[in-house]
Chain A
Amino acid sequence: MTRVWRAREFSTLAILAGELLFFVWYLWPESGPHTFWNQGNLLLILKYSSIYGIAAIGAAIVIISGGIDLAPGAVIALTTVVIGYVFVESGWPLLASCAAGMLVGVGAGLVSAWLVVRVGLPPFIATLGVLGIWRGTAFIITQARFYDLSAKLPRNWEVAGVSIDWLGPVVMVVCAVVFQRLMTGYQWGRSILSVGGNETAALFSGIPVARVKMTAYVIAGLLASASGVVLAIVGGQGKADLASGYELDIIASAVVGGASLAGGRGSVAGAVLGALIFGVLRNGLTQIPGATFYDRLIVGVAVIVIVVMDQVLTRRDTGA
């Protein structure tokens, strides 16, 4: 089975590689340094992709469990606002502020989990409502202001000689490795796949379905707030309208990475690769004159093309 998942991730990786090659070729300069293929720009891509890449790991887990989470964008924004409030207004130390931000994620995840598992709302409706609640809370706290963290953070901050810009990519890779292992090699991950594959069968197999689903939403909330922590520190702001519309990029990353909205299929590593595919696409398009306006359109078409390609390949694979 591992071989099958890996095969799917290889195809995502191939798309990413193809995309990189395209931009390297298309943006090849007539003279001077390459504006796309250089260390600074690649770090920029990683930095921005990691914001929704981290959350996409959680989104993939929820989707594999057979649910959906529309709240991560709002959770990211609320996290930055809470960090800004306690760090700037209340003068908490940075670490304590970030911990407060992570609590936002846990709380948000618990609320979604409670609505889906205990109240029995369809996940789409539950998290759509929750999305509004957290975004709204962020606006109420900020009252049209925003918190400027950058003023209180060191300029050109480096930790152990490495720029703070690397925070996002590092968190994303660490989370991807940890959750990929949990999903493929541990009982918890197997139960997520089981519940997503056939919830009734999971129940009859003695799998604690309610608890498994709750963990998926709580982890999604936690990872969304981890995105928020990174955004607050790297972006230097706590603001209610940050990460607007990210929920769609986050879900799209998971889906392009192989997660099936029907549940039971997908991978954490794939979701991260999916996030990178969109990060590269966005970055490359801004460097092609006039293409910026086509940004959203091209991203939309890319989602459909990649998922259709996947379905065609899967169909051939099953020999149906």
Chain B
Amino acid sequence: MADALRFIDVHKSFGAVRALSGVSFSVTRGEAHACVGENGAGKSTLLKILAGTVRPDRGEIEIDGARVDHASPREALAGGVGMVFQERLAFPNLSVTANIFAGREVTRAGGRLDEPAMRARTAQLLADLHLAVSPDVRMEHVSAAHAQLVQVARALAFDCRILVLDEPTTSLTDAEVDHLFHVLGQLKAKGVTLLFVSHRLPEVFRLCDRMTVLRDGRFVGTFVTADTTPDAIVRAMVGREPPERVPRPTPAATGPPALAVQGLSGPPWFEDVSLEVRAGEIVGLFGLVGSGRSELVETIFGLRAPASGTMAVNGREVRPASAREAMRAGLALVPEDRQRLGLHFDLAIRHNLVLPRAVKAGGRRIDTRAETAVAEAEVAALGIRTPSVAARPGTLSGGNQQKVVAGRWLATKPTVLLLDEPTKGVDVGAKFEIHNIIRRRAAERMACLMVSSDLPEVLALADRIVVMREGRLQGEIAGSEATEEAVMRLATHDTKAAT
């Protein structure tokens, strides 16, 4: 078994931060190899070195036994290393064809672009990937899943021998993941070596032959998939046992529900949605991307106007026309995209934490001392690891940023907490901590409605699971009786066809 790729004692520091200290491992030719680890473990730095955007301080990389030193992405591409990043690394303004050939256009004599040749090659590649996308359509009109596959096509256009995939499934539905994995399986059969980076362990176990675990910039071990378990990998990634689950009492069964939604419609996203959340209860709202879940919680939070339907908090009818009114009615929403919607990256963590609370209170003068006290209390309560409340959110890891997002809304002491993908893109350790934060608040009688595409997460947290598909509620399953299969059946298939 020859090694397609070898990392030999790779070191890299950014200032005082040691991103990689002496990482060595090898990837066999033609295998699917996973690189897993928590955020900050050094995976992305390793990939950047391979892609030629970062130079290592020390150490070597070998491809097919020959030492390589990628000084630029161009050299890496020329060396047969294809990269598939998250979909943000596409050109929205260019056609699919132009995206695939960006930087390596086919030209005729005289330097003119040979559009017909590029278009024909693109059509061929898309057909090979069973991708029903026109080569001429602009990338901004291509769905996230297809954009991901276009990047695979891009790597293949240049006959890559090693295909690196960095979190390629973050915004894909299960059916789309199946398609991607099917394609990757075919590539592997053709002898392409895959290096797969993902937070989603079930996918890693499904696709990869072996997996290498990194922790704090160090190599922990390489495991053969058939001989290990997800629990063992999590232990290796976290370096400690996962924290105990916070126990909590069963939610109240009597009295008016904390949140009652009746016949709520917001075309074209969702229609005639009715649901209840009781004090102390965690309700999981599961559905595939595009099923209208995010739009539903945004409507409940007053960010969108419903076409019809009513809502009540603690039995009192509310119809918030803005987030501010929703907050005053006792609602809070931890939004999905923390980079875009969740945090003010130019403000100190202290200001981030107290902003919604201050908006809710509606005061004018800022009491700096009180503000700092509240912020410090939240930092302690949520276990946010930050040098000080004056630091900026950008300096924190993804998991700690997400805790700040949750914290700023918990500080408003809501009756009903709406959460949209609360652990998207955070590492395993932070995920457990965020789950415990949610459990603890539910135990303190807060009503939680959690949107998540992460099925294990929904199963682990929710007392009840409500499933949504194409804008309509498909049914409800008690958390204790729910299985992955039962929930997925509701979320994907026609209920009649399934029985």
A264 within 8 A of B: yes
Given contacts A186-B113, A187-B111, A207-B102, contact A318 B73 (CB under 8 A): no
Task: Tell me, in angstroms, the Cα distance from A265 to B83 when the chains sit together.
Answer: 26
Task: Tell me, in angstroms, the Cα distance from A200 to B89 when the chains sit together.
Answer: 7
Which candidate, A191-199, A220-228, A241-249, is the interface stretch facing chain B?
A191-199
Given contacts A201-B89, A201-B91, A203-B73, contact A194 B103 (CB under 8 A): yes
Given contacts A4-B138, A204-B83, A206-B74, contact A190 B93 (CB under 8 A): no
Interface residues in B83-113 (C-beta closer than 8 Å to A): 83, 85, 88-95, 98, 102-105, 107, 111-113
Provide the residues of chain A in CB contact with B112, threshold 8 Å. Answer: 185-186
For the A-B complex with A187-B111, A206-B104 known, give 20 more contacts whose Cβ atoms are closer than 8 Å. Answer: A1-B94, A1-B136, A1-B138, A185-B112, A190-B94, A194-B94, A196-B93, A197-B91, A201-B88, A201-B90, A201-B102, A202-B102, A204-B85, A206-B72, A206-B75, A206-B78, A207-B102, A264-B93, A265-B93, A318-B140
Please tell me if the beta carbons of B107 and A1 are within 8 angstroms of each other in the complex.
no
Given contacts A1-B136, A1-B138, contact A204 B92 (CB under 8 A): no
Interface residues in B195-237 (C-beta closer than 8 Å to A): none
22 inter-chain pairs at a CB distance below 8 angstroms, sorted by A residue, are A1-B95, A1-B138, A4-B138, A185-B113, A186-B113, A190-B94, A194-B98, A194-B102, A197-B92, A198-B90, A200-B88, A200-B89, A201-B89, A201-B90, A203-B73, A204-B51, A204-B83, A206-B76, A206-B77, A264-B91, A264-B94, A318-B140
Interface residues in A167-208 (C-beta closer than 8 Å to B): 185-187, 190-191, 193-194, 196-198, 200-208
Binding site for B on A (CB under 8 A): 1, 4, 185-187, 190-191, 193-194, 196-198, 200-208, 264-265, 318
> Of A4, A190, A265, which contacts B113 at CB under 8 A?
A190
Provide the residues of chain A in CB contact with B138, threshold 8 Å. Answer: 1, 4
> Of A187, A191, A193, A203, which contacts B93 at CB under 8 A?
A193
> Of A185, A200, A207, which contacts B103 at CB under 8 A?
A207
Given contacts A186-B113, A187-B111, A190-B113, contact A206 B92 (CB under 8 A): no
Task: Tell me, in angstroms, the Cα distance from A193 to B85 when the chains sit together.
Answer: 20
B141 within 8 A of A: yes
B53 within 8 A of A: yes
Which of B72, B94, B140 is most buried by chain A, counting CB atoms within 10 A of its CB?
B94
Please tell me if the beta carbons of A205 and B73 are within 8 angstroms of each other in the complex.
yes
Least distance between B76 CB and chain A CB atoms (Å): 8
Provide the residues of chain B in CB contact with A318, threshold 8 Å. Answer: 140-141
